[in-house]
């Protein structure tokens, strides 16, 4: 069996240390990337929620406008308001189909 001198041991130790450091950096970067992806997903989800809430609020306002117009015997404006409300609800369902009501035929 061949003996390994101290210089060779030092080189192997150095190579091993560099390898371990590279693994650590790679693991840290992967975790950092995963955290960043998770944060981005949360931000996108929050933005989507805000947009949907804005559309829903607008649809409610348009429905209220339609009811007031009906109270004022302005059926033309009531229909226009309901069309806008319907459009807002269509946008909501297109962006978030999970909100659709299950329909049975």
* Residue 47 belongs to some domain of the structure: yes
Q: What is the pLDDT of residues 42-91, one digit of tens each?
A: 888 888 888 888 888 888 898 999 998 888 989 899 999 998 998 888 88
- Print the domain residue range for 63: 41-96
pLDDT of res. 100: 72
> Per the structure, how many domains does the chain have?
1
* Residue 105 belongs to some domain of the structure: no
SS (H, E, C) the chain: CCCCCHHHHHHHHHHHHHHHHHHHHHHHHHHHHHHHHHHHHHHHHHHHHHHHHHHHHHHHHHHHHHHHHHHCCCHHHHHHHHHHHHHHHHHHHHHCHHHCCCCCC
Q: Is 91 within 8 Å of 52 (Cβ atoms)?
A: no
User: Chain centroid to CA 87: how far?
Assistant: 23
* Residue 30 belongs to some domain of the structure: no
Q: Is the pLDDT of residue 30 over 60?
A: no
pLDDT of res. 39: 84
Q: How confident is the model at residue 4 (pLDDT cuts 50, 70, 90)?
A: low
pLDDT of res. 37: 80
Q: Is the pLDDT of residue 105 over 70?
A: no
Q: Is the pLDDT of residue 26 over 80?
A: no
* Residue 67 belongs to some domain of the structure: yes
Pick 11 or 73 by higher pLDDT: 73
Cα end-to-end span (Å), the chain = 83
What are 53's two structure tokens?
């809430």
């Amino acid at each position: 069996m061949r003996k390994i001198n101290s210089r060779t041991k030092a080189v192997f130790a150095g190579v091993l240390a560099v390898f371990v450091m590279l693994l650590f950096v790679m693991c840290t970067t992967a975790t950092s990337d995963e955290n960043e992806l998770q944060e981005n997903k949360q931000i996108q989800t929050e933005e989507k929620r805000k947009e949907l809430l804005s559309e829903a609020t607008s649809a409610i306002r348009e429905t209220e406008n339609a009811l007031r117009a009906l109270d004022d015997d302005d059926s033309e404006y009531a229909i226009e308001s309901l069309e806008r409300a319907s459009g807002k609800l269509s946008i909501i369902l297109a962006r978030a189909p999970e909100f659709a009501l299950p329909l049975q035929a």
